[in-house]
Structure 1
C-alpha cells in the first residue's frame, strides 16, 4: 500500500506550485507519482487522489510510451534534463499535447531519487501548426494550378502543331499508296516524318507530366538556366503570339549551371513572363515587348532579368508584390500567386529576387542565382 508522507517543506512547496498554470508532477524511478498540482489534475481530468501512487506511464499513449520512458531513464548528472511532448486523448476524445521539461533529482552518489516535470499544454500550438501545414499544402497545389494555367495554352498549341502535321502527312501517304507508280522512297520519307511528329507530341506530353509531379522541391540537380528559359518561352509562345508581344532574348554563352530542378526554373520564367503579359494587357501600346536576359557577368552567379514596356508598378506595391494572393488585377482574373511562386523557387535555390521600374518605362524583375559549386568564385 502506498502512503504519502508530507513534511512542512513539502507543504510550502505545494502551496507555491498549486496555483501555477503549468502542469507540475514528481515521480519516483519506478514511475509512481508522488506529487501533482491542480493544473496537472485539470489537464488529465482526474482527482489528485486517483493520480498519486499511480504510474506516470499510465497517462502515456501506448505507441510512444516506451520511447518517452527511455528518454526519462536517460537522465543522469551529465544530462540532468530532457524535453518530451507526449500526446493524450482526453475524456471527450480530443487529442491533446503537453510539453514536459523533466529534471532528475540526485543523491550524493549521482543516483536519481526522484524526477520533477514542469509541463505546458501545447495543444493549440500543435493544432495551429497542423492548420498552417495544411494551408501551405493547399497553396502549393494552388501554385501548380496557376503555373499550369500559364502554360496550358502553350501546351495545347504545341500539341496541335504535330497533330496537324500528322493529318497532312497521313493524307499524303494515302494518296501515294493509291498511286500504282508511286516511288517507295517517297512513302518511306513520309512515314519517317510521321514518326518524328509522334515523337514530338510524346515529348510535349512527357514535359507536361513533369510539371504535374507532386514532388517539385529543389534537389541536388543542376540546371542550365539558359535551356530552362528557352523551354519556358516555348511553352508560352502561343500566348505571346496571340497578344502580339515580341520577345527579345539574350543568353550569354558558357553559363555556369545553377542548383535546382529545371522544371522549377521553367515555372519561374513562365510566371515572370505571364506577369509581364498581364501587365501589358492593362494598357494600349503600339508595340509590346518583353526582354529576357540570362547573364553570367556576376562572378559566382547567374542573373536572369525579365523586363517589359508596360505601365510598371506603383512604388507602394514593392513591399507586397511577392506576397501570396496579392494582385492588382480585378477580382477573379488572377489568384495573385505568380510572383509568390517566383520568390519561393528563388529562395529555395539560395538566390534573391528584386523588382524595379525601368527609367524608360515598364517593370524589370531581376533574379540572381548562385552558380553550382560556387563556379566563377
Structure 2
C-alpha cells in the first residue's frame, strides 16, 4: 500500500512538473488553434493519454484536436466517411451539452457508454452516414473501440474550457490508467488552456493591422516561474531569468520575491497568498518603470485539492498597452472629429446602428437613443431599402459594389431628403461593420435641377434668337456656338468647339480684335466692334460683335460671351447712301451752276437790254413808242424763259392736269423739240390717278429714260407703253438703240441711280434690261396704294439730266 501511494505521488509530481514546464508554452502560441493543438499534444505526448479538444460554436461541437495516430485516423475515416479533424457533433450530445450549464468536470469509467451516446446522436442527426451504421450502434461501438482504442474499457474525463465568462469547449481524455484522481490535473490543464485562449482572444481583438498582428505573434515567450507555497523558486525558464539579468540556475532555490523591488514584492506576495488561499487562478496587469506585465498565477493542487505549488506566467504587454492607448486616442480623435464635421457619420453591424454623430441624427431628425441598436435601413425610402440592404451584405462578403451612391432618405417626420452616401467596410469593436458618411444633397439637387432648367431655357433662347452666339476662352478658343453660328460658317458644333475664331478673321485685323475684348474689366465688361470675316467660300463679309467678359465670384475672368450679326448688307447700304449723298450734292451743285448760267446768260442779258432801253428813254424828252414795244418784247421773252426754267424744276402741268396728261405732253415735247421717233401706246381706257409721290417719281423716271434714249440711242425708235388698273400702274420705255453693259456702269451713272432711288421711294419695282447691240428696256411697276409711298425729299430737287 505504501508503495502504491508513493507511485501515485511520483506520478502526480511528474504531472505537475509537466504542467509547470509545458503550460507556459500555451501562451507563446500564435492562434487559438495552436493553443488547442499544443494542449492536446502535451496531454497525449507527455501524459500518455488519448486526447480530443472540442469547441462549441454555432450550436455545434467542432473538433479542434485529436491525438490519434495516422493508422487510427484511417480506420476512423473508413468507418465514418469523415476525417476526425472535420468531425462535428450536433448539439444534443448529452455529456457535452450538460457542460454548458456548469463548470464541472465529468469522469466516466467506461468509454463504451460515451461512444454509444455519441454515435447514437450521430446516427440520429447525420443521415448521410447512416448507411455505415446499419449493423447497429452496439456493434459499431465495438468496432470503433477496437479500431481507435487498442485497449478496451478506457475511462473518459470531460473537462470544460472556460474562456473569460464564456464556455469555449472541452478537453476529452481517454486512458486506461485514468481515474478520478486525474480530474484536478485535467481541470488545471483546462483552466490553463481557457486562460490562454482568453488572452489570445483579447490579443487578436487588438489586431487591427497586419503589422500589429505580426508584432504580437512574434513577441517573446512569456516568463514562467514555478514556486512552492513558501515562495521559493523551484524552476523558471530562460525568459523569466533574463528579466532580472540572470540565468535560471542563479535563481533556482531562492526566494522569488527577493528579486522584485520592495513595493512590487509586497503586491505580488498578496496576490500569491490569495491564489493559495482560494485555489483559483488570478490574472492581473501592472506597470513598472514604463513596462507593463500581464501576469497569470495558477494554483497546483494535490489529489486532496490542497495547493502545493504556484505557477506564475508573466508576459510583457507594453506594446499592447501602447497600441491600446493609441487606439483610444485614435478613437477619441475620430469621435471628436466626427462630431465637428457637417456630414453625417454612422456605423452599423448587420444593419443595426452602433454609433452615429450629431450631424447624422440632425439630418434624419432622430436622437441617438432612438437609433442605437435599431435598423438603420429604415432611414432609406421603402422603394430603395432592400436594394441598399443587399448592397451592404454584398460589400461585407467581399463582392464588388459601388462605395458611393445617391439615394432617397426618410426623416422621422416623413420628409423625403436626397442623400449622397459613401460606404466602407471596417472592423468596429472586433466586428465586421460598415462605416457610412452621409451628406444631405437635397438643396444641392434642387439647385442643380433649377440650374439645368435655366440652362435649357438659356439654350432655347440662344438657339431661337436670329443671331450668332458663342462663348470663348481668353485665347480665342470657342467653348460654345449656337445653331445659327454653325449654319453661318457651314460647320458642325463639334468642328467649331475648341477652334480659335481668329481663323475666320483677316490676319491684319486679329490684334485689334484681341485688344478690344482683352481690355474688358468687371467695371467695364462689354464692348461692341466690327470686323471682317473670311467665309468658307473665300468671300469677305462684315460682322458686328458685342462681347461680355464673365467673371467668377473671386473676380477671376473665366470666359467671354459674344453675340454677333452680319452687317454686310448694312455696310453696303451705308456705302450706297454715302455714294448717293455725294451724287446728290454733285447734282445739286451742277444744277445750281446750270441755273446760274441760264439766269446770267439769258435773264441777265434780257434785263441788261431792258435797262439800256429804259436809260435811253429817260434821256429823251418824250417817250418813243418803239422803245416801249421793244421793252414789252424783252419782258415777254424774259417771262417765257422763266417758265422754261420753272418747268425744268417741277412740271406745272402735273399738278394741274395729272400724270396721264403730263406724260403725253412730255412725249410730245421730246418728239417735237428733238425730232425723235416716239410711239406712245396707252393700254388702259381708264386713267387711274397716281398718288402724288408715285406721280412725280414716275414722271421723273420717264423723263430720265427719254433723256438717256436721246443721248445714247441716237435716231433709234422709242416705244412708250402705259397700263393702269385699280391696284398698279405699269410703264415701259423701250428703244432699239445700241444698248450698253449695265454692270460696267453700275453706281457711277447718276441717272440710273436716281431712277432706282425714286422707284424705291414709291414702293415700285424697276427693271432695266439691256446689253450691247440689244437695245434697252426700262419697266416700272408702281403700286397705287398710297400707304406704300414715302415722302420724297427729292421731289423738289432739280431735274437731273
Give TM class, smaller chain. Answer: 0.3 to 0.5
Which of the two has higher C-alpha Rg? 2
TM-score (norm 2): 0.25
TM-score (norm 1): 0.45
